[in-house]
């Protein structure tokens, strides 16, 4: 896929292409290596650290002999919607007029979905109105069709934990059995709900237990992120000192989304030279924008829970929230109450 030159080099919503993507070289190599060796992978991390971005980066970097499909199932609620999303993703990502696309479209149309086009974006939408049994048959048919292609196929399913919400019983076990039988298709699974994803792939009682190579995604390293920030500003004839970039990274704690969001704002609200005053002002504005959300969060918590949350936020990182030292420093109640509060939240 071609990427045009963005107005702002700091992505905050979607992947802007390899020139605007920071580092992740080791992870990218590891995933591509895994896929080349016929392994499926699962990406796990805390929220907004860059799983979806990394998936797009990997799919972009895959050798031409691979055909990648990205499927986000966040807003699917049952297996039928899963099929709709899978078919829609396939026909959106391979336009009908391309060689591979033509074959795919002919096949998808043979399953007789309703195909409509979004009036605003023109993107196609496939939807099937069929029974559960027919849905399973059709999902299987899509996999089998892809399995029979000469190119290797990679299907990345994002927000995969959503399958746990499907009303159909044993979706996981059924999918696992299908997926396991495929030789020509490898999968990348990812999801924003870390605890559910971990449970799905690391709990011995779950069907996906040990079925894939697990990759824990951490924060981008200081040096790489600093150099990236400097390079992005320079690309657009703006300058930022090393120290200022480091100060930004220290304030965002190198969290990808926060860093991208702050840099995006700093970029759009600056002329040529980026100073500490400029980023601090933007950081303040960002915090102010979130204030209502933080306050509504306070209403959802008990007084004890709120005090505990504030204490952890002030501490930054705490490994022993039940220690006497921590309790005394922040005027919290007993360690038993702390355990009870953290379990309730």
Ligand X SMILES: Nc1ncnc2c1ncn2[C@@H]1O[C@H](COP(=O)(O)OP(=O)(O)OP(=O)(O)O)[C@@H](O)[C@H]1O
d(CA 218, CA 313): 20
Residue 53 binds ligand X, judged by CB under 6 A? yes
Quote the least distance from Cβ 232 to ligand X, whole Å.
Answer: 9
User: Could you count the other beta carbons within 10 Å of the beta carbon of residue 86?
Assistant: 22
Q: Which does 48 bind (CB under 5 to 8 A by kind): Mg ion, ligand X, none?
A: ligand X
For ligand X, the binding residue among 192, 282, 305, 341 (CB under 6 A) is: 192
Quote the least distance from Cβ 188 to Mg ion, whole Å.
Answer: 12
Quote the least distance from Cβ 74 to ligand X, whole Å.
Answer: 9
d(CA 334, CA 84): 52
The long-range contacts involving 337-344, CB below 8 angstroms and separated by at least 24 positions, are 337/304, 338/308, 341/302, 341/304, 341/305, 341/308, 342/308, 344/302, 344/305
Quote the least distance from Cβ 136 to ligand X, whole Å.
Answer: 28
- For residue 72, what is the enclosing H or E element? strand 66-72
CA distances from 227 to 9, 14, 94, 244, 277 (A): 14, 21, 35, 12, 20
Q: Which stretch binds ligand X (CB under 6 A): 8-16, 34-42, 93-101, 276-284?
A: 8-16
Contacts of ligand X in 252-311 (CB under 6 A): 256-257, 260
Rg, C-alpha atoms of the chain:
23
Between 125 and 193, CB nearer to Mg ion:
193
For ligand X, the binding residue among 12, 170, 273, 275 (CB under 6 A) is: 12
Quote the least distance from Cβ 160 to Mg ion, whole Å.
Answer: 11
* CA 29 centroid distance within chain: 18
Q: Which residue has the tokens 């089998």?
A: 144
Residue 327 binds ligand X, judged by CB under 6 A? no
Residue 188 binds ligand X, judged by CB under 6 A? no
d(CA 185, CA 113): 23
For ligand X, the binding residue among 11, 69, 83, 248 (CB under 6 A) is: 11
Q: Which does 260 bind (CB under 5 to 8 A by kind): Mg ion, ligand X, none?
A: ligand X
What x-and-dash track marks residues 93-112 binding ligand X by CB under 6 A?
--------------------
d(CA 254, CA 141): 44
Phi and psi at residue 153, in whole multiples of 5°? -110, 140
For the four alpha carbons of 109, 113, 115 and 121, in that order, the dihedral sign comes to: negative
User: Could you count the other beta carbons within 10 Å of the beta carbon of residue 233?
Assistant: 23
d(CA 305, CA 332): 10
Between 136 and 159, CB nearer to ligand X:
159
Quote the least distance from Cβ 77 to ligand X, whole Å.
Answer: 18
Residue 52 binds Mg ion, judged by CB under 5 A? yes
Q: Which does 209 bind (CB under 5 to 8 A by kind): Mg ion, ligand X, none?
A: none
| Contacts with Mg ion, residue ranges (CB under 5 A) | 51-52
| Contacts with ligand X, residue ranges (CB under 6 A) | 11-13, 15, 21-24, 45, 47-53, 192, 220, 256-257, 260
């Amino acid at each position: 896929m071609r990427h045009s030159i963005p107005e702002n080099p700091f992505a905050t919503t979607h992947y802007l292409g390899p020139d605007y993507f920071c580092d992740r070289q080791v992870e990218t190599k590891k995933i591509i290596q895994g896929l080349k060796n016929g392994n499926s992978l699962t990406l796990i991390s805390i929220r907004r650290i860059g799983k979806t971005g990394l998936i797009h980066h990997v799919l972009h970097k895959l050798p031409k002999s691979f055909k990648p499909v990205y499927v986000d199932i966040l807003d699917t609620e049952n297996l039928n919607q899963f099929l709709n999303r899978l078919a829609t993703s396939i026909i959106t990502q391979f336009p009908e007029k391309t060689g591979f696309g033509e074959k795919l479209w002919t096949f998808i149309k043979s399953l007789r979905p309703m195909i409509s086009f979004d009036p605003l974006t023109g993107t196609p939408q496939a939807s099937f109105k069929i029974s559960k049994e027919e849905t399973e048959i059709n999902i299987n048919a899509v996999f089998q069709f892809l399995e029979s292609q000469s190119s290797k196929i990679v299907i990345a399913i994002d927000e995969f934990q959503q399958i746990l919400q499907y009303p159909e019983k044993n979706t996981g076990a059924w999918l696992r059995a299908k997926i396991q039988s495929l030789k020509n298709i490898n999968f990348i699974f990812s999801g924003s709900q870390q605890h559910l994803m971990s449970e799905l792939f690391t709990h011995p009682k779950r069907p996906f237990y040990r079925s894939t190579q697990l990759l824990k995604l951490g924060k981008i390293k200081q040096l790489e992120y600093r150099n990236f920030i400097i390079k992005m500003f320079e690309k657009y004839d703006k300058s930022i000192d090393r120290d200022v970039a480091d100060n930004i990274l220290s304030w965002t704690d190198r969290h990808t989304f926060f860093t991208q969001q702050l840099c995006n704002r700093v970029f759009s609200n600056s002329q040529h030279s980026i100073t500490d005053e400029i980023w601090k002002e933007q950081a303040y504005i960002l915090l102010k924008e979130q204030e209502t959300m933080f306050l509504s969060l306070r209403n959802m918590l008990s007084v004890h829970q709120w005090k505990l949350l504030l204490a952890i936020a002030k501490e930054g990182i705490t490994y022993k929230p039940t220690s006497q030292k921590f309790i005394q420093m922040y005027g919290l109640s007993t360690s038993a109450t702390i355990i009870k509060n953290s379990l309730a939240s």
